[in-house]
Structure 1
Amino acid sequence: MTLSKRIFFILFLLPFSQLGKAQSFLGAWEIGVSAGGAGYVGDLNQYNLVQVSGLNAGAFVKRNFNSYIGVRLNYNYGQIKADDANSSNEQFRERNLRFKTSLNEGSAILDFNFFDYSINDGTRRFTPYLFAGVGFINFKPTVKYEGETYRLDYLRTEGQENEYNNTALTIPFGGGLRYNYKDNWSIFTELGYRTAFTDYLDDVSGVYPVKPVYGNNPSLNLSDPSLNKPNGIGVPGTQRGDFRKRDTYLFVSVGISFTFVSSKCYSF
């Protein structure tokens, strides 16, 4: 074999040798867990986009197609709450609404890494990333007065003819940072918002009803528990909250993941 043929042969095999190395990450599976805070933006918190009011925990399984793109299936549990009594707005304090809601979310999410992030052969051990996806949320809004807890979605506090659906479509989106700190292990932190296709995460959406809903105490008006007004502040037919049609919730998390990287390569 002449020298030129040898050089050509080496150059021909070089891309395949790199492909063999890439197989260690291409198509790798990853599992992880996370925990952190949960928050909400809606009728009882209209402007603070980063207010955390509860906790969240989650787990995921992910398929990494290359060092930039991956798809994960997520499960997250969280709790959010708000109380008009803690508001800086005097009208909100007089309105005196409150809620606490548990959230169960399942979602499919596409991740995009900005850098060539790879467990074995990538050039960067650190990368920022963005994500977006689609999912569903099951929520259970409650309120506690005088030691008694009420499931608000059962009570039709705004005079609805039927109970509203407590399962809704949700659109997750956000970003984060991940770092490969040892072998197949990575740590990450992310902030993600969810647009829920419902306005009832807080049980507040429509108007004050003609016939209020009362708790076990006849003086406890769950539709209008307002302060300093003997007959309440909610004139029937007037708005209880804001005019936005969807509530938003957020998860801010830190977590750890493990990537199952195959050491099998093609040989020539």
Structure 2
Amino acid sequence: MNRAIFTLIIGILFLSQQESKAQSWELGVFGGGIGYVGDLNPKNLFQLSNPAYGILVKRNIDPYWSIKLSILHGKIEAADSNSNNSAQILRNLSFFSPLTEISMQGEFNFFNYIPSMSRKKYSPYLFAGGSLALFNPKTRYQGEIVALNGLKTEGTFYRKYTIAIPYGAGIKYNIAGNWTLGAELGYRTAFTDHLDDVSGKYPKENVNGLSDRSEERVGVISPFREGYQRGDSKKRDTYFFSGFTLTYTFISSKCPPAF
């Protein structure tokens, strides 16, 4: 987390040194929820896992375009036991993972928007960019919390960080003076299929009893063998943030009146 904050500060200093006609800076906070879509939750695109929070800084280039740097944090999780799919229930896997995201995004306002200066007090907006996500999938097993990454539950190694592509939409409203309240939903396509430690096929051996957990269910004899598909056919997991932002805009003297 300290490394993430350092990266954000460097990004802010870099932007502040650029010669630009940018009209303002924004500083703010994010509060809401985080969700996950992947092998253990393949269909529910709006299911939130846990609360999420973060900080952000934005350089407004003009009333329509801006560049945003942010750090967001939350915990994703899912369990086959919560599924309505009989095959998932039999598989009986589960995970949770802290997730910290460092992101740079471009943002486009549909309307001319400068807090306290624009005629319109609100604007819908779109955003997209690039992110670095840090994660560490774990599970609960026999009363203990077990980190899954080093166990190679599918016989393969993966890194605990990934590049992701954020994209989404929101709406912002000038609630008073230079204060803006926003609501947004943003998905992240991760360049990994291991946010949940589930991706490929069952290995030859049941690593620490965590590769195949179907027999933990009373009366079940595992039907899964080496080479059977353990995850779904998709090659990338997805996570998302949904919530509210509260920002304060520092308006430059260079900024002309907006209409």
Following TM superposition, by how much is the alpha carbon of 1:253 offset from its aligned partner in structure 2, in angstroms? 1.1
1:222 and 2:220 correspond: no
Q: In the aligned structure 2, how far is the partner of 1:146 from the partner of 1:165?
A: 26
Task: Give matches, 1:10-21, under 5 Å.
Answer: none
- Alpha-carbon contact 1:55-1:80 (below 8 Å) kept: no
- What's 2:45 paired with? 49
Aligned sequence identity (%): 46
Q: Secondary structure at the match of 1:92?
A: helix
Q: 1:236 aligns with which of 222, 226, 232?
A: 226
Q: 2:134 aligns with which of 109, 131, 138?
A: 138
Q: In the aligned structure 1, how far is the partner of 2:23 from the partner of 2:202?
A: 54
1:213 and 2:207 correspond: yes
Q: In the aligned structure 2, how far is the partner of 1:135 from the partner of 1:48?
A: 23
Following TM superposition, by how much is the alpha carbon of 1:230 offset from its aligned partner in structure 2, in angstroms? 5.3
Following TM superposition, by how much is the alpha carbon of 1:56 offset from its aligned partner in structure 2, in angstroms? 1.0
Following TM superposition, by how much is the alpha carbon of 1:228 offset from its aligned partner in structure 2, in angstroms? 4.9
| Structure 1 runs not aligned, ≥5 long | 1-24, 215-220
1:168 and 2:162 correspond: yes
Task: Give matches, 1:1-268, under 5 Å.
Answer: 26-160=22-156, 163-214=157-208, 221-226=209-214, 227-228=217-218, 231-263=221-253
* C-alpha distance after superposition, 1:224-266 (max 9, x if no partner): 0003565523211011010100000010011200011134679
- Alpha-carbon contact 2:30-2:244 (below 8 Å) kept: yes
- Alpha-carbon contact 1:159-1:212 (below 8 Å) kept: no
* C-alpha distance after superposition, 1:172-211 (max 9, x if no partner): 0000010011111111110000000000000000100001
* C-alpha distance after superposition, 1:104-140 (max 9, x if no partner): 1101000000011112422211011000000111111
Stretch of structure 1 that moved more, 256-265 or 107-116: 256-265
Q: In the aligned structure 2, how far is the partner of 1:70 from the partner of 1:264?
A: 16
Q: In the aligned structure 2, how far is the partner of 1:100 from the partner of 1:58?
A: 19
Q: Which residue identity lines up with residue 234 of structure 1 in the other structure?
A: F
Q: Secondary structure at the match of 1:154?
A: helix
Q: Secondary structure at the match of 1:259?
A: strand
Call closer, same or farther: CA 1:234–1:31 in 2, change over 3 Å: same
- Alpha-carbon contact 2:52-2:74 (below 8 Å) kept: yes
Q: In the aligned structure 1, how far is the partner of 2:175 from the partner of 2:110?
A: 18
- Alpha-carbon contact 2:66-2:108 (below 8 Å) kept: yes
**What value does the CA root-mean-square deviation take over the aligned residues?**
1.6
Call closer, same or farther: CA 1:265–1:210 in 2, change over 3 Å: closer
Following TM superposition, by how much is the alpha carbon of 1:67 offset from its aligned partner in structure 2, in angstroms? 0.7
Q: In the aligned structure 1, how far is the partner of 2:236 from the partner of 2:255?
A: 50
Call closer, same or farther: CA 1:265–1:141 in 2, change over 3 Å: closer
Q: In the aligned structure 1, how far is the partner of 2:197 from the partner of 2:33?
A: 21
The two structures have a TM-score, normalised by structure 2, of 0.87
Q: Secondary structure at the match of 1:94?
A: helix
Residues matched between the structures, number = 234
Q: In the aligned structure 2, how far is the partner of 1:87 from the partner of 1:233?
A: 19
